[in-house]
Amino acid sequence: MIWRCGNRIIDLTRPVVMGILNVTPDSFSDGGRYAHRSAALERARQMAAEGAAIVDIGGESTRPGAAPVSAAEEMERVLPVIERVAAELPVAISVDTAKPAVMSAAVGAGACIVNDINALRSDGARSWAAEAGVGVCLMHMQGEPRTMQLNPCYGDVVAEVAAFLAEQRTACLAAGMAPEAIVLDPGIGFGKLAAHNLTLLRELPALVGLGSPVLVGVSRKSFIGLALGRPHAERVHGGLGLAALAVARGAKIIRTHDVAATCDAIGMVSAVLAGMET
């Protein structure tokens, strides 16, 4: 299994790690920590050294209740970092954005993946992505960041998320995108209560069965704190457990703040699964 991202091919025979690099002042986990370009570049270097195959660079917080920023401000935050990372490091670069203008500028600066919480539903996004030939990650979200956690409701969360992701993938294929360019993300924590998140992780094979690689991001999220009674700073171990579970259930990309530990955790799961297959 591969992820075709422009001129880069990411081998998904074994799961890979996507490191999170927020160049924002208000992200839920590390807001402001890497807003300065030198700090962001140093963090990217560290993640690459720790084993990240992809660095996901975002300039707009998507935490619950986050306020939107303009495309111009978002580009001012991310483009210089993307350019420096692309020039210096061998990792694939993903841009975490829902704005077509930012997508295009980021790819021009060196990104090869668009990670879109809006699943390329903005006007012109699908046709642009098809023409650009980039890799894309289509995520499910109920509502939008400012209101998504007010009262998320589902009849059958697994069936509804699966249907949404299948519909968006079909729309991307109809726009001319290659099947191997598309990755799917159930959007853990995006318009979902803790019970919804746990159910999606338990039933992840239903999403894997859609046929595209699945990305899972659970790093430091609030439902871990609810399940374990842990504050934000003490959720790493819970997140590692969920990352290992997700890989065992078929996920191919794990998006995380904690690259080194996650690489070790999913590497061991991969070793066990490979041993079972030989």
What DSSP element (H or E) covers 11? strand 8-11
pLDDT (0 to 100) of residue 33: 61
Q: What is the mean pLDDT of residues 137-164?
A: 88
Residues, the chain:
278
More confident residue, 47 or 142: 47
pLDDT (0 to 100) of residue 277: 55
Q: What is the mean pLDDT of residues 187-213?
A: 96
* Structural contact between residues 90 and 84, judged by C-beta atoms closer than 8 angstroms: no
Pairing of strands 8-11, 2-5: antiparallel
Residues catalogued as catalytic: 221, 255
Assess whether pLDDT exceeds 80 at residue 146.
no
More confident residue, 247 or 28: 247
Average pLDDT, the chain: 92
Q: Minimal CA–CA distance to 195: which of 216, 166, 222?
A: 222
pLDDT (0 to 100) of residue 37: 83
Q: What pLDDT band is residue 157 in, cutting at 50, 70 and 90?
A: very high
Q: What is the pLDDT of residues 159-169, one digit of tens each?
A: 999 999 999 99
pTM > 0.85: yes or no: yes
Least confident of 65-69, 96-100, 155-159: 65-69
Q: Going by C-beta distance under 8 Å and a sequence separation of 6 or more, which residues neighbour residue 2?
A: 9, 10, 11, 12, 180
CATH topology of domain 2-277: TIM Barrel (3.20.20)
pLDDT (0 to 100) of residue 145: 73
pLDDT (0 to 100) of residue 264: 97
Please report, for the chain, the start and end positions of each structural domain, with discontinuous segments joined by +.
2-277
Tokens 């030989």 map to which residue?
278
pLDDT (0 to 100) of residue 233: 85
Q: What pLDDT band is residue 34 in, cutting at 50, 70 and 90?
A: low
Task: Quote the tokens at residue 42.
Answer: 């140093």
Q: What pLDDT band is residue 143 in, cutting at 50, 70 and 90?
A: confident
